[in-house]
Structure 1
Amino acid sequence: MQDINRVILIVLDSVGVGELPDAGEYGDEGSNTLGNIAAGCGGINLPHLSGLGLGKIDGIDYMPIPQAVSGSYGRMAEVSKGKDTITGHWEMAGIQLEFPFPTYPDGFSQEILDRFQKLTGRGILGNCVASGTEIIKQYGREHMETGKLIVYTSADSVFQIAAHEEIVPVDELYRICQIARDMLQGENMVGRVIARPFTGQPGDFSRTANRRDFSAQPTSDTILDKVQEKGLEVIAVGKIEDIFSGKGITQAEHTKSNMHGVDVTLKYMKENNNGIIFTNLVDFDMVYGHRNNAGGYKQALEEFDARLPEILSAMREEDLLIITADHGCDPTTPSTDHSREYVPVVLYGRNIKADVNLGTRKTFADLASTLAEIFETERVFPGDGFYSLIKK
């Protein structure tokens, strides 16, 4: 019998731990999401993550280290070109991208817009790089009066469509986004088309929890496919299903917040399943990182840490918990975009060693290779697995 038959993989979306050597190429010198939050907010209290070894990761010298550390730990560097959600998640699942997804700092071309309008039968407002909350303030009234769609992008490879739920029902917005997803291929294959529904009245608009991402299809099989092929479960919590466009997923449940994501993860942990429970907690990035809200980010981290004992208590003998991130989004820098950073990796399980420093991994794909070792799947991924270093 395998020593580990289930992995709970939790991605703390955007919780980077220091700039990568090539951060300057991305305009991210000085970015350190976790470190700068701790420095700028009078410290940060994460006793349970510290107990698993977070404070012993290379480059983290601002957190207390308990006498006994019960987990193993390290940090991972990204080799793929980019610093977005899909690029980070795909690499940890085994896909290294040689070319970044296209971005549109000046908005989308007239050719793209003309085709989109022809396919949807609706006009367009915006077409610029913008904050999602600001653009609905700017164009929300006109959208409600005309029915035109608010289209915008960011520093990421995204085609975002905002619409009021009373003007464009959510299901209709999803249908429109699927049209855009099918249209944006080839040289214009954006990483994600994102539905951004909102409600309210002019001067008091608010985005709803009905966001949905329509991602590019993974360019090859991932560890999720290999685990599924073995007849095991791959349960996606949060936006994981969207990130992988459903590929390699056996069950999925979308979530409305970090704490809802923890609740759903615990629900699946208490069921009789083997394989991977793969969770993304997006509030760190979406609610706090992109809005440069360092205080809120700190509080969200502390709230997750306070839930960690519940997760540890729900673990079975043959479970392995892995906590990591997909990129940075430093709320203390002038930029509101993602940042090119190392990400932490912290592991805990009764069948792995404690207090093993995995050092700096050269690629997020080391994680895919490690899971291939654990589940004894075909080992076709780049990177070096580290299961042998932590296996008891």
Structure 2
Amino acid sequence: MNPPFRRVLVVVLDGVGVGALPDAAAYGDAGANTLLHVLQRSPSLRLPNFERFGLGRLVPAAGLVSGEGLAACGRMAEKAAGKDSTAGHWELMGVTLEQPLPTYPQGFPEEIISAFTAATGLAVLGNRAASGTDIIRDLGEEHLRSGLPIIYTSSDSVFQIAAHEEVIPVEKLYDLCRKARELLNPFRVGRVIARPFTGRDAAGFRRTAGRHDFSLPPIAPTLLDRLQQAGVPVVGIGKIGDLFAGRGLDESLTTASNADGMAATLECLERVDNGLIIVNLVDFDMLWGHRLDVSGFADGLAAVDAWLPQLTARLRSDDLLLITADHGCDPTTPGTDHSREYVPLLAWFPGLRPDIDLGTRAGFADVAATVGEALGCTCPAGRSFLPELKAGRV
């Protein structure tokens, strides 16, 4: 039997949460609501296309009025323990972490640092939890003098290595990250992240687009693996390849920005005839959420909103579009870390009846179940909402 859709496009708005989860206080995130707070702090922001899709039903606010929406709309609670991109994306593709990946709020133990030094021949600077921009400002000049890499972490399960591009060239930095990834696998650290930067002094240091994530491979087969094994093409755009350690992807397209990711998506739709295209738009998290940049976040939302008509114009009657997120990253709350929030769920295809309520889903894996069913590939995790969508076909 032919699957009900020939192509599925999943767009992940990295960090665009829509309200604190019931257990958010345990993560220090009581009261977080990324989208609502950005809208409240941005009185001139208007999101007319997201409004037409019905997103205002989740976050009714000025600039996003509630009303009948063209898309099916709901929200999803995260089952996985944690609030990071790895756990969020894995759960979206059907693998839910029952135990959180380890974090190191006091810095990495001597066992790990000694192993890194032995593997690379380099001592380290830093080794503490910090904002990336702050630690580069604080230790960048010492790094220029000593040539030693800056090691730091966050509330996520990450081992980050910052280095000036003229001191440790980007390819050498990536090699250091590969060595760190190998030694950290037994510790189940989620990601090793290369953080290259440039500049001559603390006032001028700037991180570059050379960031690269070296992820722990998924702990079980994801929907991406299952689709690939079934011969269904899978394309990842943005940091998807990093988050899944390259697994389950027939093609991985890296991007430098949201704009780059949106352009790559439109190009991909022109040449990829069937299968899954999954896109991560990272700037909400990386550039604006972590840096508490409300105005940048608002501008980014407006840019994606303006892109939506271009996107839907390229979708065929046998295409399914899903728009969601992986966690929150509220730029208005104390601290610079992710926030544990519900994520939006918008589903649309040409000919969908307006105003379908998908409710509050019990886990992100409902996306995997739906995508799998839509493309004719069984996914054992989650509960598909494809029946609600098919019932809404006119």
TM range (shorter): over 0.9
Distance apart, 1:237 and its partner CA: 0.5
Name 2:260's counterpart in structure 1. 260
Task: State whether residues 4 and 351 of structure 1, in contact with CA within 8 Å, keep that contact through their aligned partners in structure 2.
Answer: no
Paired letter, 1:55: G
Q: SS state of the match for residue 201, structure 1?
A: coil
Deviations 1:29-81 (A, max 9, x none): 00000011112222631111111111123x54553135x52211100000110
Task: Return the alpha-carbon distance in structure 2 between the equivalents of residues 354 and 92 of structure 1.
Answer: 25
- Shift of residue 332 of structure 1? 0.7
Return the alpha-carbon distance in structure 2 between the equivalents of residues 191 and 305 of structure 1.
31
| Alignment partner, residue 320 of structure 2 | 320
- The corresponding residue for 1:114 is 114
The residue number in structure 2 matching 1:14 is 15
| Residue in 1 that maps onto 2:89 | 89
Is 1:360 the counterpart of 2:360 in the alignment?
A: yes
Matches within 5 A, 1:38-187: 38-42=39-43, 44-57=45-58, 60=60, 63-65=64-66, 69-186=69-186
Deviations 1:189-239 (A, max 9, x none): 211000001112113111110100001110111111111122121111100
Please state how far the C-alpha of 1:379 moved relative to its aligned partner: 3.1
Deviation, structure 1 residue 181: 0.5
Q: Is the 1:318–1:351 contact (alpha carbons within 8 Å) kept by the matching residues of 2? A: no
Tell me the residue number matched to 1:303.
Answer: 303
| Contact preservation (8 Å) 2:39, 2:61 | no
Q: CA deviation at 1:157?
A: 0.8
Q: Which residue of 2 aligns with 1:198?
A: 197
How far residue 22 of structure 1 moved from its aligned partner, in angstroms, is: 0.5
The answer for the alignment partner of 1:27 in structure 2 is 28
Question: How big is the shift at 1:378?
Answer: 2.4
Distance, in Å, in 2 between the alignment partners of 1:380 and 1:64 is 37
Aligned-pair Cα RMSD in Å:
1.3
* Aligned residue identity for 1:131: S
User: How many residues end up aligned between the 2 structures?
Assistant: 388
Contact 1:75 1:358 in 2 (8 A): yes
CA displacement 1:119-139 (0-9 Å, x = unmatched)? 001110001111111211211
- Structure 1 unaligned residues grouped into runs of 5+: none
Offset at 1:377?
1.1
Q: Which one is further off, 324-333 or 312-321?
A: 312-321
Deviation at 1:185, TM superposition (A): 2.4
Residue number in structure 2 paired with 1:2:
3
Report what 1:231 is aligned to.
231
What are the Cα deviations for residues 262-301 of structure 1, in whole angstroms up to 9, with x where unaligned? 0001110111421111110010011110111112111110
Q: Distance in 2 between matches of 1:297 and 1:321?
A: 23
